[in-house]
Amino acid sequence: MGYQVYLRSFADGDGDGWGDLAGLRARLEHLAWLGVDVVWISPLYPSPLRDGGYDVADYLDVDPRLGSLEELGALVSEAHALGLRILLDLVPNHTSSDHPWFMAARGDRDSPYRDHYVWRDPAPDGGPPNNWPAHFGGPAWTYDDASGQYWLHLFLPHQPDLNWQSPAVDEAFADILERWLAWGIDGVRIDVAHALVKHPDLPDLPPAPGQGDEVEVTGGSGVGVEREFERYAHVHDADQPGVTEIYRRWRAIADRHDALLLGEVYLLEPQRLRRYVADQDGLHLAFWFAPLHLEWSPAAVRAALREGLEEVGPWLSWPLASHDRPRSATALGGGDLGRARALCLATLVCGLPGLPMIYQGEELGLTDVPLPHEVRQDPIAVRGEPERARDPGRTPIPWEPGPGWGFTSADEPWLPIGDRRPEDTVAVQRGDLDSWLQRYRALLATRKGLHGSVADEPVDWLAPDGPIVAYRRGPVVVAANCGQQAATLTLDGRHRIVRFASARAREGQRVAEELPLEPHEAVVLGP
């Protein structure tokens, strides 16, 4: 089981209002108690923080606001002693504009680092070289007065894209990966793993289906920065030939260190995702993001799970939420309804092959925190689309009631914690066997306890339609009522025990012929 730590919001160990390595180290026991195996830490490198640390200024050090290499080493040692593996977040698509490579490249067209990035002369009208938009609004090109060329950036202008056609870039990242794994890190989550390679001719993007013959990059006004990006068919700026070759080279490094390569391959078409993991000579696992885009219904849940698994196979990681999306309880309806649906989805995912990934706070049933615009820091909000800002899902974890909610001793954290209640905290929920935290812990324990029974078993889907989504793997049955009315699943007559239930009182019951389920109730049956 995986767990994402968004470091600045997890736990503050030095009282400055920022989560840090010292805070995470002090809370490792929580993760071990919960039943986590793999901990993915969001970027911790030196950064000007124009995009939450995904603008890296040095790939081989730790931002002093978050700790030091010595503290990271101590954390890794303690994590290993608790049976936890640590993944770092590697960001190979772009650097910060403050990275020494880019500063050298920008300052001199003859610099050996010039070819580390993608530069092009202006179009005949003096504008950008092509029509590519950036994820965060406006063109994906910024003009450099000093050199008379544009640089490419699929995200912020302060995040220039690296040129993966350059052997020097390839060699640099092979060295970065080798050094971290030799140092003791257990693997990496690879940011924007599908977009490192671009079409060598950088042709214009065609409109997305339904957009007409032409669309215009406006800079975000009117349509919103993310919707502007979605108006194009991204057939030249992502998922290009050659990108999987990078991961084949990295796999040789990872295998020497028994390390994991987990790719953020943000492709919602499973047949495109498949090539990143199918031969198992590149990435070990790739995220399957379709469940995070659900419009809740039994049919949608069933389709999102089946399509990824049947097309890609067992080499998936299943994110239950992330720092880039609303928290699942918010996305799936809000309040207790959203929490119940989120636990249904988590139960279904936890029985499938692959690596489920919990985003910090999901185990508490946390919802997003409404934040005034003036405190938001996400570039999406700053650049004109506050309703899609990611800050509400990135607020600090409430550990215990009281000043600072156990997150910090500072007067103010880096983002407001919000209107949390004592029953939202880890301390209170650990003492309540019916809490979301205790239900998540019981689910993870059930997954581990039944692993030997299902490890090599295929997934046999049991309910092709109707409100119940269910499957069997060997002797184990996982089922969730994703509808609005009570329903019953007909079983095969084999006697099974309720090993996990979202309603704890059902655990230990014996069932054989029929399994009645209330709306948004989920169970795991086993021998």
Residue 2 confidence (pLDDT) = 98
Based on the fold, state whether residues 33 and 138 are members of the same structural domain. Answer: no
Which pLDDT belongs to residue 80? 98
Does the structure show a pLDDT above 60 at 221?
Answer: no
Last residue of some domain: 430, 447, 478? 430
pLDDT at 389: 84
**Are residues 210 and 115 part of one domain?**
no
d(CA 174, CA 246): 9
| 209/135 same-domain check | no
C-alpha dist (Å) from residue 90 to 60, 69, 290: 10, 16, 23
Per-residue confidence at 229, pLDDT binned at 50, 70, 90?
Answer: confident
pLDDT digits (tens, 9 = 90+) for 11-55: 999 999 999 999 999 999 999 999 999 999 999 999 999 999 999
Q: Is the dihedral of CA 179, 181, 184, 187 positive or negative?
A: positive
Residues 384 and 495 in one domain: no
- 123 and 225, same domain (yes or no): no
Find the mean pLDDT for residues 178-203: 98
Q: For 87-126, how does the pLDDT look when each residue is reduced to its tens digit (9 = 90+)?
A: 999 999 999 999 999 999 998 999 999 999 999 999 999 9
CB-based contact 148:121 (threshold 8 Å): yes
Average pLDDT, the chain: 95
Q: How confident is the model at residue 380 (pLDDT cuts 50, 70, 90)?
A: confident
Residue 85 lies in a domain: yes
Residue 386, pLDDT above cutoff 80: no
C-alpha span between 245 and 336 (Å, rounded):
45
Q: What is the span of the domain harbouring residue 501? A: 457-526
DSSP assignment of 118-144: -EEPPPTTSS-SS-PBPTTSSBSEEEE
Question: What is the average per-residue pLDDT within 398-417?
Answer: 97
Whole-number pLDDT of residue 211: 76
pLDDT band at 422 (very low <50, low <70, confident <90, very high): very high
Q: What percent of the chain has pLDDT over 90?
A: 91
- Residue range 119-172, pLDDT digits in tens: 999 999 999 999 999 998 899 999 999 999 999 999 999 999 999 999 999 999
- Domain endpoint, select from 379, 412, 430: 430
Residue 232's Cβ-side half-sphere holds a number of Cα atoms within 13 Å equal to 27
pLDDT in tens, 486-512: 999 999 999 999 999 999 999 999 999
Assigned domain for 450 exists: no
DSSP state of 317: E
Look up the CATH number of the domain holding residue 139: 3.90.400.10
pLDDT digits (tens, 9 = 90+) for 267-281: 999 999 999 999 999
When divided into structural domains, the chain yields a total of: 3
Please compute the mean of the pLDDT values over residues 204-219 and round it to a whole number.
Answer: 74
Do 307 and 230 lie in a common domain? Answer: yes
For residue 254, what pLDDT is reported? 98
The pLDDT value recorded for residue 228 is 79
- Residue (of 405, 403, 400) closest to 430 by Cα position: 400
**3-state secondary structure string, 425-460?**
CHHHHHCCCCCHHHHHHHHHHHHHHHHHHHCCCCCE
CATH number of the domain where residue 511 is located: 2.60.40.1180
* Distance, CA of 127 to CA of 48 (rounded, Å): 28
Both 106 and 184 in a single domain? no
Question: Is 444 a member of any domain?
Answer: no
CB 237 within 8 A of CB 154: yes
User: Counting beta carbons within 10 angstroms of the beta carbon of residue 455, is it exposed (0 to 12), middle (13 to 18) or buried (19 or more)?
Assistant: exposed
Residue 438 counted as domain residue: no
How does pLDDT run across 358-372, given as a tens digit for each residue?
999 999 999 999 998
Do 89 and 107 lie in one domain? The reply is: no
Question: Could you give the count of Cα atoms lying within 13 Å of 526 in the half-sphere of its Cβ?
Answer: 17
In this structure, is residue 379 part of a structural domain? yes
Q: How confident is the model at residue 212 (pLDDT cuts 50, 70, 90)?
A: low
pLDDT of 72 reads 98
Please give the model's pTM, rounded to 2 decimal places.
0.96
Q: Is the pLDDT of residue 220 over 50?
A: no
Residue 213, pLDDT score? 61
Distance CA 171, CA 240 (A): 20
146 and 202 inside one domain? no
- Same-domain check for residues 187 and 289: yes
331: pLDDT confidence band, cut at 50, 70 and 90? very high
What is the predicted pLDDT for the residue at 107? 85
Residue 435 domain flag: no
User: What percent of the chain is modeled with pLDDT above 70?
Assistant: 96
Q: What is the CATH number of the domain that holds 322?
A: 3.20.20.80
In a domain, 440, yes or no: no
Question: Does residue 240 belong to any structural domain of this protein?
Answer: yes
> Do 188 and 263 share a structural domain?
yes
Q: Tell me the catalytic residues.
A: 191, 264
Same domain, 191 and 318: yes
